[in-house]
Amino acid sequence: MADILTIDSIHVSYGPVEVLHDVSITVSEGTIVALIGPNGAGKTTLLRTISGLNHPSQGSIFFSGERVDQLEPEAVVRRGVAHVPEGRKVFGNLTVLENLRMGGFSQPDKKAVATEIERTYELFPRLKERRKQLGGTLSGGEQQMLAVARALVSRPKLLLLDEPSMGLAPLLVNNVVETLVQINREGVTILLVEQNAHMALSIAQWGYILEEGRIAMEGTSANLLSNQQVKRSYLGI
């Protein structure tokens, strides 16, 4: 199985403070990879760096064989990477449909964008019902659906998800899980950042643990779920 994403020994700083230290990960095409760790470990910074919002001071990032670590975010999107940020970040003063159209900004073929929007409605029927409603008036769960759907309109090869279950009731978390598995089955590779470590590892094939800006552990999800240190620190067992 080919690697769609290769991150090799990157260092990322905010001003004088280095947040990521010599981080290397790989994501194989067609998989779900979980990235877990405590608050402040650098998980969000890593996703922002992959999507071009931050640039590493050292190291490299290759996506589909092309080096992308110095590209701007729009160029990264055009190559097939979509980022669903923490906190959803939907456009509250735009309708659901207008939010979805924003996801297709990099696609000049508006018919193709309309087709992708219809596909997201199949995945999230609730959004079709709410398509004329302002994004800011949706519930938390509906806003999460909209954030994911908006990312899918760009037809990504790789979906970066930052805390998709945050603030959601358990039943809605189950819906998120089912949706991510379905998206992955349809061919989208997923890199998932989650505080809910058990949920993330239960659907991923591989996992990384990031602590204090460094990769502390990696392995198959099954091995991490059975690891005593992981159980104590992240699974509450």
Domain count, the chain: 2
Phi, then psi, of 156 in degrees rounded to 5: -75, 150
Q: What band does 169 get if pLDDT is binned at 50, 70 and 90?
A: confident
Per-residue pLDDT, averaged over 9-24, amounts to 96
- Boundaries of domain holding 106: 89-155
Do 191 and 214 have their domain in common?
Answer: yes
Q: What is the pLDDT of residue 237?
A: 65
Cα distance between the two ends of the chain: 33
Can you give the pTM of this predicted structure?
Answer: 0.93
Do 58 and 25 have their domain in common?
Answer: yes
Cβ-based neighbour number of residue 14 at 10 Å: 9
More confident residue, 4 or 168: 4
What is the share, in percent, of the chain residues with pLDDT greater than 70? Answer: 100
Phi, then psi, of 211 in degrees rounded to 5: -135, 125
Do 94 and 73 have their domain in common?
Answer: no
Do 130 and 171 have their domain in common?
Answer: no
Do 104 and 203 have their domain in common?
Answer: no
Query: How far apart are the C-alpha atoms of 157 and 117, rounded to whole Å?
Result: 17
Do 209 and 173 have their domain in common?
Answer: yes
**Among candidate residues 108, 136, 155, the one where a domain is terminated:** 155
Do 37 and 63 have their domain in common?
Answer: yes
Query: How far apart are the C-alpha atoms of 90 and 150, rounded to whole Å?
Result: 9
Average per-residue pLDDT in the chain?
A: 93
Do 97 and 58 have their domain in common?
Answer: no
Do 76 and 8 have their domain in common?
Answer: yes
Do 126 and 165 have their domain in common?
Answer: no
Query: How far apart are the C-alpha atoms of 14 and 164, rounded to whole Å?
Result: 25
Cα dihedral 58, 157, 189, 168 sign: positive
Per-residue pLDDT, averaged over 96-101, amounts to 95
Do 36 and 56 have their domain in common?
Answer: yes
Q: 154: helix, coil or strand?
A: coil
Model confidence at 24: pLDDT above 80: yes
Q: What is the pLDDT of residue 112?
A: 87
Q: What is the pLDDT of residue 175?
A: 85
In 150-222 the beta strands, taken as DSSP E runs, fall at 158-162, 189-193, 206-211, 214-220
Do 141 and 111 have their domain in common?
Answer: yes
Model confidence at 106: pLDDT above 80: no
> Can you give the CATH number for the domain in which 7 is found?
3.40.50.300
Model confidence at 161: pLDDT above 70: yes
Q: Tens digits of per-residue pLDDT, 27-74? A: 999 999 999 999 999 999 999 999 999 999 999 999 999 999 999 999
